[in-house]
Amino acid sequence: MNLPNKLTLLRILLIPVFVALVEIDFAGHYLWAVAVFAIASFTDYLDGHLARKWGLVTDFGKFADPLADKILTTTAIIYLVQMGLCHPVVLIIIIAREFAVSGVRMIAAGAPGGKVIAANMWGKVKTVLQMVSIIVVFMLLGLGVPATALVAHILMWAVGAATLISGVQYLWGNRQYINTAK
């Protein structure tokens, strides 16, 4: 297994650490949680950069990298919904988009020639916006900023809009797989 794929696996392994730090109530736990989330998010950039730079792009990476991102960001957003800092509709948009994209990827993989569809630019923008917004909100929580709820809702609705746009673009851009599915 190459280094970029190991970084993807590290991101997945950091998710339960993030969860534990959010759940265990001690002074500064949100700051520790956001630090772990930020490290995990950075591995997303790093694994893709190294895979492209060193010519180590693999089908496993094309599949596991976006999956790791989805698990990481969805986990954090579920917590934000639970805390009242993200409207449930935003979470529904995110989950619906991820199921739809995963469905198209499965159809494409089962098509003649077995095409693996990598993340596109809109998907990357959506992921970066999700990760940065989550980092900002958890940082504000950790620092006890009074306007955290307002900032969180603004950021999360922006995430919802970007997620919706990226989902529509992804489905439209890969409609040939949907149209030819049996």
pLDDT of residue 112: 79
Distance CA 149, CA 26 (A): 21
What's the pLDDT score for residue 102? 87
Predicted confidence at residue 182, as pLDDT, reads 63
Instruction: List the pLDDT tens digit at each of the 182 positions of the chain.
Output: 999 999 999 999 999 999 999 999 999 999 999 999 999 999 999 998 999 899 998 888 878 888 899 999 999 999 999 999 999 999 999 999 999 998 898 888 877 777 877 778 888 899 999 999 999 999 999 999 999 999 999 999 999 999 999 999 999 998 888 877 66
Q: Which tens digits make up the pLDDT trace of 83-114?
A: 999 999 999 999 999 999 988 988 888 777 77
**Helices and strands (DSSP H and E) totals, the chain:** 7, 0
Q: CB count, 10 Å around CB of 135?
A: 16
- Residue showing tokens 């990476």: 61
Q: Which of 98, 62, 63 is nearest to 78 (CA)?
A: 98
pLDDT at 108: 84
